[in-house]
Amino acid sequence: MTFSLPELPYSHDALAPYMSRETIEYHHGKHHLAYVNNGNNLLKGTEWENRPLEDIVKGSHGKNAGLFNNAGQHYNHLHFWNWMKPGGGGDKIPGILEKTIAADLGSVAKMKEAFVQAGVAQFGSGWCWLALKDGKIVVTSTANGENPLVHGARPILGCDVWEHSYYIDYRNRRPEYLTAFVDHLINWDYVADLFEAAKP
């Protein structure tokens, strides 16, 4: 497995005003690219060199911190670009996923509130998540480059709460960034695809 920077599924200014061209140019073209380059360098000569990305993330966790951080962030960002789309967010959630969210988390409104709160409460850099664990959808958060894969769960939605993801557009107002992500950016069709693939 060699990591490579994916093309974005939309133009650099497609998510404005909720995420600006400048944020996406730096976040995709510099931050994600650095994880790709560092990950490829750290992968060389290791036992994970020709393994799929998920195996590298899970296998290096707790064993090779440098490789894990970069492989984890590569995995997270590959999905992050697809977890957003122009005109996303809102309550347009595919039926089965919406029913499961209501059954496991109370309601779509409660899920959104818990997701934003998980991102707000994550101290320092990290991610907030919807993940499938033991057959149920849960809200969780992780530090730095970690993700639910290393906690026995399948991520279906994640939001990057590292400052590089919001500081240009929102400065220190992380709650405002998270609310805009939920209300205007989430690509629920992609979340539903991951949910279908993760179901037992």
Binding site for Mn ion (CB under 5 A): 160, 162
Minimum gap (Å) between residue 110 Cβ and Mn ion: 27
CB of 160 or CB of 169, closer to Mn ion: 160
Which helix H or strand E contains 140, and what residues bound it? Answer: strand 136-143
Q: Report residue 114 as tokens.
A: 């818990």
CB of 129 or CB of 162, closer to Mn ion: 162
- Contacts of residue 28, defined as CB under 8 A and 6 or more positions apart, other chains included, come to 5, 8, 12, 77, 81
Minimum gap (Å) between residue 77 Cβ and Mn ion: 6
Residue nearest to Mn ion (CB): 160
Minimum gap (Å) between residue 162 Cβ and Mn ion: 5
CB of 28 or CB of 58, closer to Mn ion: 28
Minimum gap (Å) between residue 27 Cβ and Mn ion: 6
DSSP state at residue 81: H
The number of C-alpha atoms within 13 Å of 177 and in the hemisphere containing its C-beta is: 23
CB of 105 or CB of 177, closer to Mn ion: 177
What strands lie across the sheet with 136-143, from one edge to the other?
Answer: 136-143, 126-133, 154-160
